Every structure is written in structure tokens, then in C-alpha cells.
Amino acid sequence: MYRRGHVGLGLLAYAPVASLTLRSGEPGLALVGVAIAVAFATLPDVDERLPLPHRGPTHTIAFVVAGGGLVGTASVPVVAASGSLPTWTPVFAGVVTAATLGSHLAGDVITPMGIRPFRPLSDAHFTLDVTPAADPRANRLFLGAGVVALALSVGLSVGLPS
């Protein structure tokens, strides 16, 4: 997948979390979640600008877990300093980050190139070979699906009793 497709998949992964966040009475935090999803949707592709193999270490389950843990941990002092954010904000930030990074892996596993998500423990290669990463229709489809899912999630959550 390319940027559009990955952002769409990130929003698709975030949509149910957005609904729960809104229903808990935290619209500001729900908006932060959208920012996290968009910001981290393409982070694994940073390997294209680093001396790393593409779809190497940044396209693994370990990277997903480490990224979620790092963001969750980094948000602890922010929550403490704010005095107004819910105590579960670090868990929220970590989960949204991990879900978004995981959605990136899901987007790449459907391409012919696939991924090796269990490295360094296993070199097992996974591909569903559904669509090339560069297919503009697939990328637009995933972006549209993510936007629609998030809009439905927000629309159905606003005004509902918590």
C-alpha cells in the first residue's frame, strides 16, 4: 500500500476505538486518536529513508508492540502534567498506535511482496497477493473505507448515552 491506503487502514482500525472514546465522554481525546492514526499510519515505511531493508524490522509484530509501548509510556508525563486527561490516556495512546502500526502490516500483507512479521524469530513470509501496493484504486478504496468507517463511528456515537 501507499500513503493513502495506509492512512485509510489506520482510520479503519481506529474507528471502533473512536466510538468507545466518544461514548466515554472524551471528544478531545478521540480527536487526538485521529491524529495518532494518521501520523503513525506510514511510520513503518521510514525504512525507505534509513539504511534498513524495506519491509524489514519496521514491518514486524515486535515493531508494533514496541511502538505502542513507547507512545503509551511517553504519554504518562503528559497526562500527569495536564491534570485534565483521563488516567487511561497512556493505554489509549499505546493501543491506538499499535492498532495503526498493525494496520500498516495488514495493508502490506495483501500485496505480492508481503511481509515477514515474526522476524527475527522466524523468516516465515506472508502474502495474500490480493493487490499490488501501487494500485491507485485499492489505495483510494482503503482511504475511502477508513474515512467512511470513522464518520459512521463518530455519527453513531454522538448523542448516544454512555
pTM of whole model > 0.85? Answer: yes
62 lies in some domain: yes
pLDDT tens digits, 31-69: 999 999 999 999 999 999 999 999 999 999 999 999 999
pLDDT at 66: 98
Closest CA to 148 of 4, 6, 10, 12: 12
- The CA-based angle 90-61-53, given to 5 degrees, is 120
Which stretches of the chain drop beneath a pLDDT of 50? none
Residue 14 in contact with residue 152, Cβ under 8 Å? no
What's the one-letter identity of residue 135? D
Rounded to whole angstroms, what are the CA distances from 15 to 55, 79, 123?
26, 23, 32
pLDDT at 31: 97
pLDDT of residue 60: 98
Residue 83's pLDDT is what? 87
- The answer to whether position 83 is within a domain reads yes
Is 118 part of a structural domain of the chain? Answer: yes
